[in-house]
Chain A
Amino acid sequence: MIATSSKRVFLVCALVFLLLLGLSLVLPKWLIFLATIALANGLVSLGIVLMMRSGVVPFGQGLVFAAGGYTAALLFNRLGITDALALSLMGGIAAFLIALPFASLLARYRGIFFAMLTLALSMVLYGILMKTNALGGSDGFNVTRPTLFGFRPEAAQSTFLLWGVTAGISCLMAGLARIYCDSTRGLLSLAVRENELRVEYLGMSVVNIVAWNYLLAAFLGGLGGALSVLALGHIDPNFSYWTTSGEFVFVAILAGYQSVIAVFVGSLLLELVRSFSSAYFPNTWQLALGIFLLLVIRFLPDGLGSQMYRLLPKRPTKD
């Protein structure tokens, strides 16, 4: 049985999904493409936010982003699986499975040690991808247009099809993430972030909480990687490079850990800043990005989500 609050979350997600589909009728194609990339990357950052809720920040989500992306691209080119939904799902599962052996080890580390270990893993994958010619080496390889339930779109329709799939998956994952954040495990994640010694003394395994958050983040990262590859039509080892991981962390910090929607808003903001900055001052756009992040840290230390959270009606409490 689905709880009333969960039904409400899914209803909101369905409405947002319909709104996003409707927007594709009025928005220019370049903006739809940009928003598709923003949502796909937002899924990776959403995973980081789930981890931030238990007090750790991974600097190496490029690992799962690339794992999901390469899985989708290889299945597409080698096995002929072209369905966008199936490829996305398999990207997520592959990333989950790649993260699985490392989860319980990483969950024992905190702070910079956790961040650097995840970064190291992503850079190991980067090195392997660069040297593996069967996977395209440093050039990577291309992917053509995906299908959906057997429907093969024309080139002009492909952007809209992928937007629909990405928006649908993002809305579903945002809803599930909201339910997860409000669940018992979600509450325990916050308790771990605040005082893990106490959580252990209350009888709960902190490693279990952190490890599962890492695995969920991996699944989301893999989904995002697969959708990005399908949208871009190309994959290369830069998917696993540390600067790519850094951008996901940037969005997570920009969004904060309180709101799920803020992650996608943050991701869209990043893509817009990147697009316009690289168009108008191509050599110094990272400078604009850095200043933007500094301003957020200075004036919104808890991220955009803290402001959105404030606007929500407060839950009645029994005092």
Chain B
Amino acid sequence: MNTEKQVLLSAQNLNRNFGAVVAAADVSIDIAKGERLCLIGSNGAGKTTFVNMITGYLKPTSGRIVLADEDITALAPRQITRRGVARSFQIPQLCMHLSVLDNMLASLHCSRGERSFFRSGREPEAVEECHNLLGRFDLAKHASRPVMELPGGVRKLLDIAMALIGQPKLLMLDEPTSGVSAEEKFMTMDTVMNAIDRGAQSQPVTVVFVEHDMDIVERYASRVIAFYSGRVIADGSSSEVLADTEVQRYVTGSVRSTEKAAA
């Protein structure tokens, strides 16, 4: 790992068991500011457990998580969000009967801690800000539609837009392209990454994403970490990690490496 970069988040010796199942075994990862870190691994390898521990949904059995010199291990999800860590979900977590705009407005008010008894929830400035972000995700045309009417790919984008509206320091995307058709995956990731980059003001947003599609990994990740049985088995650039024999055996499979070699 590049030690010259400033560390934003440090996960130190994280362990987490579910009965006899080891979901995280001595996981230590430093995430640098501005990084595009991708977590790969087969189902049950520990990727989502790692994301859940960072965002406070699960508490590690042992170990600590430090965000910008502050220990956040014991904090609740909303306290971690307020410190600048936002996330999206593998299955989008949306308010299905509310409109796209109301979902965004609710996210905006939550991120600002705004819970006035009298101030309108739909003030023009707030609506404008939501429309701007929806525009970056190409969702403005859906603003007045209830979420339940939207297709899966659009819901995925909305889920990420809601996480981004609070201008987080660290954005964690759990399988942002799952459920999206193969031909739309690149388009979805382009939209997401462009929206993140265009929103970055003084410093770039650090992004951690979980992904199974290795073409997506190669194209969008500046660093890749491979998990297997709750352990980190490889850490480096995408080319280094995808060439690792353990990664080929446990994560990507030998077929892919054979194809690469032939190419």
Residues of A in contact with B (beta carbons under 8 Å apart): 3, 5-6, 179-180, 182-188, 190-191, 194-195, 197-205, 208-209, 315, 317-319
Closest to A208 in B: B115
5 interchain residue pairs of minimum CB distance: A187-B121, A194-B95, A202-B110, A203-B81, A191-B106
- Chain B 75-101 near chain A by CB (<8 Å), digits 1 or 0: 011100110001100000111111001
Query: In chain B between 132 and 147, which residues have their CB closer than 8 angstroms to a CB of chain A?
Result: 140-141, 143-144
Closest to A204 in B: B110
Q: How far is the CB of A310 from chain B (nearest CB, A)?
A: 14
Residues of B in contact with A (beta carbons under 8 Å apart): 55, 76-78, 81-82, 86-87, 93-98, 101-103, 105-107, 109-111, 113-122, 127, 131, 140-141, 143-144, 162-163, 166
Q: Give the complex CA separation of A213 and B110 in angstroms.
A: 17
Known contacts A202-B107, A203-B110, A204-B113; is-contact A184 B78 (Cβ 8 Å): no
Q: Give the complex CA separation of A186 and B95 in angstroms.
A: 14
Q: Is the CB of A200 within 8 A of B76?
A: yes
Residues of A within 8 A of B163 (CB): 202
Q: Is the CB of A202 within 8 A of B120?
A: no
Q: Give the complex CA separation of A208 and B55 in angstroms.
A: 20
Q: How far is the CB of B50 from chain A (nearest CB, A)?
A: 16
Q: Is the CB of A5 within 8 A of B120?
A: yes
Residues of A within 8 A of B116 (CB): 183-185
Q: Give the complex CA separation of A184 and B125 in angstroms.
A: 13
Q: Give the complex CA separation of A287 and B226 in angstroms.
A: 65
Can you give 30 contacting A-B residue pairs, CB < 8 Å?
A: A3-B119, A179-B118, A180-B117, A183-B118, A183-B119, A183-B120, A184-B109, A184-B116, A188-B106, A188-B110, A188-B121, A190-B95, A190-B102, A191-B102, A194-B94, A194-B96, A194-B97, A194-B98, A195-B95, A200-B78, A201-B86, A201-B93, A202-B86, A203-B82, A203-B111, A204-B78, A204-B113, A205-B78, A318-B140, A319-B144
Q: How far is the CB of B81 from chain A (nearest CB, A)?
A: 4
Q: Give the complex CA separation of A6 and B120 in angstroms.
A: 9
Contacting A187 at CB < 8 Å: which of B82, B97, B102?
Answer: B102
Known contacts A6-B118, A179-B118, A191-B98; is-contact A203 B166 (Cβ 8 Å): yes
Q: Give the complex CA separation of A185 and B105 in angstroms.
A: 11
Known contacts A188-B106, A195-B95, A201-B55; is-contact A183 B162 (Cβ 8 Å): no
Q: How far is the CB of A289 from chain B (nearest CB, A)?
A: 29
Q: Is the CB of B118 within 8 A of A180?
A: yes
Residues of B within 8 A of A204 (CB): 78, 109-110, 113, 115
List 13 additional A-B contacts (Cβ < 8 Å) besides A5-B120, A194-B94.
A183-B118, A184-B109, A185-B115, A185-B116, A186-B121, A187-B105, A195-B93, A195-B95, A198-B93, A198-B94, A198-B162, A205-B78, A319-B143
Q: Give the complex CA separation of A195 and B97 in angstroms.
A: 10
Contacting B121 at CB < 8 Å: which of A182, A194, A318, A319?
Answer: A182
Q: How far is the CB of B52 from chain A (nearest CB, A)?
A: 11
Q: Give the complex CA separation of A186 and B123 in angstroms.
A: 13
